[in-house]
Amino acid sequence: MSKEKVILAYSGGLDTSVAIRWLMDEKNVDVIALAVDVGQERQDLEVVRTKALGIGAVESIVKDVREEYVEDFITKALMANALYENKYPLVSAMSRPIIVKHLVEEAHKHGASYIAHGCTGKGNDQVRFEVGIAALDPDIHVLAPVREWDLKTREQEMDYALERGIPVPTTKKSPYSIDDNLWGRAIECGILEDPWVEPPADIYTLTGDARGEQCSEAEYVELSFEQGIPVALNGRKMSFHEIIDHMNELAGKHGFGRIDMVENRLIGVKSREIYEVPGALTLITAHKALEDLCLERDLLHYKLHIEQKWAELVYNGMWFSPLKEALDGFIETTQQLVTGDVRLRFFKGSCVTVGRRSPYSLYDYNLATYDASDSFDHKAAKGFIDLHGLPTKVWARQRRKVGKEGEV
């Protein structure tokens, strides 16, 4: 009888390499490894592919999904100005849904009824994998070797690997846990687990030190958007993907895009996280600046709530959910007239909006100006304030009647 098949989300690292062998031995399954390229820092994915086969995977697949990631996933995050707890642009939370989509696709293609991932039991990523998989195919079973096995320490894991001829990292392991893709980089663990300690300089690879020479001269950048999507950089037409790559480099060089935060994980633990997100933060800054110009007041204010909810849902692993989908619909509608240019200035680690323009701008000079061309009806303000303040007046009179005048 042929064995059951499992599609394993494979990174090439120690955990998922040991997982291949563990799944074969403990669960008696055929392992198909899937490595998904979401723009993580260049590792040779062909090496990763053959490594899985060497350990015993019956098949090993590498999929470059970067274009799809930008078009169908990051586009939505930018339109939503998505920042979890108003800070974190959802780097890891964004890549899990697209990985899930391809895991399920491969499971169907290969007739596999199992999917496995290498997440621990303490993070958000396990939730994102498992809820995402359930949403796309509620009948698929999930295996989480790292959560199940008894390899408590890294040494035990190394021993397990060495005994079975699984290649182990030859260089000393970095004390940090790093996850990255083209939307940014997340760094945790090691000394960073003490929230009082300033992050050491060597954790950063995408951003320079804002105190350095390379940040002491200002640089201006012009970003152009069509219906909420970046389409040109300094007047040169480019794909959104190319713009992200360019901005990661340029903003990173200026030392912009570092985040040091304590965040609330879904599983109930606070954790200290460092992020490097030069491109993502630059693009969100510019996109917001253009929305300030183009969105009508009520819509803009309402969208702020929607943005927060959207980020929370995606952080919590609810990418594939009816509410998230409905919010996508709302957000897309708001973007129809978000077209125009934004000028940014980078200097000493900062990125500031210094100009914005749009054919759909709602900014009316004659209404805004204090000079002679002012067309705003100043006299109308009196009646407006009378009515706007009427409930307050009624309240104050009542307070006087009961002898509580002036008290708040």
Q: How many residues bind ligand ARG (CB under 6 A)?
A: 9
Catalytic residue among 177, 209, 375, 386: 177
3-state DSSP assignment of residue 220: strand
Residue 358 as a binder of ligand ARG (CB under 6 A): the answer is: no
DSSP code, position 355:
E
Nearer to ligand ARG, 120 or 336 (CB): 120
Cβ atoms of 20 and 55 within 8 Å: the answer is: yes
Tokens encoding 91 = 């780097």
Contacts of 23 (CB under 8 A, 6+ apart): 6, 8, 29, 31, 116, 143, 145
Residue selected from 186, 203, 243, 274 as contacting ligand ARG according to rule CB under 6 A: 186
Q: Is 66 a catalytic residue?
A: no
274/282 Cα distance (integer angstroms): 17
124 or 207: CB nearest ligand ARG: 124
Distance CA(226)–CA(374), nearest Å, equals 31
Distance CA 397, CA 296 (A): 36
In 295-356, alpha helices (H): 297-315, 322-334
Residues 254-273 that bind ligand ARG (CB under 6 A): 273
Q: What are the b/e assignments for 90-127, b being 16+ CB within 10 Å? A: bbbbbbbbbbbbbbbebbeebebebbbbbbeeebbbbb
Q: What part of residues 89-128 is at the interface with ligand ARG (CB under 6 A)?
A: 92-93, 124-125
| By CB under 6 A, residue 70 contacts ligand ARG | no
The answer to whether residues 213 and 326 touch, using CB atoms and an 8 Å cutoff, is no
Q: Are strands 340-347 and 350-357 parallel, antiparallel or unpaired?
A: antiparallel
Establish whether 15 is a catalytic residue.
Answer: yes
| Cβ count within 10 A of residue 30 | 18
Q: Report CA-CA distances (Å) from 37 to 43, 63, 96, 110, 118.
A: 10, 6, 12, 20, 16
How far is the C-alpha of 83 from the C-alpha of 91, rounded, in Å? 10
Q: Which of 21, 30, 125, 258 is catalytic?
A: 125
Q: Token pair of 341, please?
A: 């240019």
Q: Is 44 designated active site? A: no
Q: How far is the CB of 177 from ligand ARG (least distance, A)?
A: 4
Annotated catalytic residue, options 15, 17, 30, 271: 15
3-state secondary structure of 357: strand
Told to check if 188 binds ligand ARG by CB under 6 A, we report: yes
43, 156, 174, 177: which one binds ligand ARG (CB under 6 A):
177
Of residues 21, 49, 66, 96, which has the active-site annotation? 96
Are 7 and 107 a contacting pair, CB within 8 Å? yes
Q: Which is nearer to ligand ARG, 14 or 286 (CB)?
A: 14
CB of 368 to ligand ARG, least distance (A): 41
Task: State which residue, 76 or 246, has the beta carbon closest to ligand ARG.
Answer: 76
Binding-site ranges for ligand ARG (CB under 6 A): 92-93, 124-125, 177, 179, 186, 188, 273
- Could you list the active site residues? 15, 96, 125, 177
